Amino acid sequence: MLKARIAVFVSGGGTNLQALLDAEKEGKLPSGEIALVVSNKPDVYALERASAAGVEGVVLHKKILGQEAFEKQLIALLEEKKIDLIVLAGFLAILSEDFVKRYPRRIINIHPSLIPSFCGDGYYGLRVHEEALKKGVKVTGATVHFVNEITDGGEILLQKAVNIPEGIDASGLQKLVMEEAEWLLLPAAAEQVSREIVRKRNET
């Protein structure tokens, strides 16, 4: 079977990338293969994780290139590597509407809340968990969704709820949501979409 080729976009430590790499190694991503890791920042630990797994890592400096040149190079790279699916795993660079529309149902993102709660512009990283605690919600979680031109606005693929323990702080909650939801959901969603890509390819 020709697997779906996956590019993972990162901006930091790459814990969700590691969850994907581990899932592939354990046979939990049978329909997909991680073929490329793209970072918008140099010297991030995610690139070391890619290297350790034998996956090519590429840095594209969005700040230096500017949006248009950044995306032009990105598209050329994705085409060169014959990428079928893009997974945003803690990728903090904004992608333009034109870029997103180029890959309908081919870009997925993990968000650390139960969308539609605590999502949209400005809601990323620790802020999501700080707002959840401030609001006093008892249950949070994570969501994997398709990416469209609206921030966190695409069709939901998978969600998992996480109970919020008494007295936990935002960084503790961030870790808990990663362990109990994000690291399970993202590989499962990547496999779900990869399987669909392979099925459609075999039908044509």
Model pLDDT for residues 70-109, shown as the tens digit of each residue:
999 999 999 999 999 999 999 988 899 999 999 999 999 9
Number of structural domains, the chain?
A: 1
What CA–CA distance (Å, rounded) separates 120 from 115?
9
The per-residue pLDDT for 66 is 86
Please confirm, yes or no, whether 145 is among the known catalytic residues: no
Structure tokens at 106: 């081919």
CB neighbours of 21 closer than 8 A, spacing ≥ 6?
34, 49, 50, 53, 55
The low-confidence residues of the chain, meaning pLDDT below 70, are none
What pLDDT score was predicted for residue 94? 87
Q: Which of 61, 111, 129, 145 is catalytic?
A: 111
Q: In sequence order, which residues have a C-beta less than 8 Å from that of residue 167 and are 6 or more positions away?
A: none
pLDDT of 29 reads: 97
Query: Which DSSP state fits 104?
Result: T
pLDDT value at residue 31: 98
pLDDT of residue 101: 95
Instruction: Name the residue range of residue 170's domain.
Output: 4-203
Provide the CATH number for the domain around residue 23: 3.40.50.170
Q: Which two tokens stand for residue 169?
A: 């702080």
Report the alpha-carbon distance of residue 105 to residue 94 in Å, rounded: 17
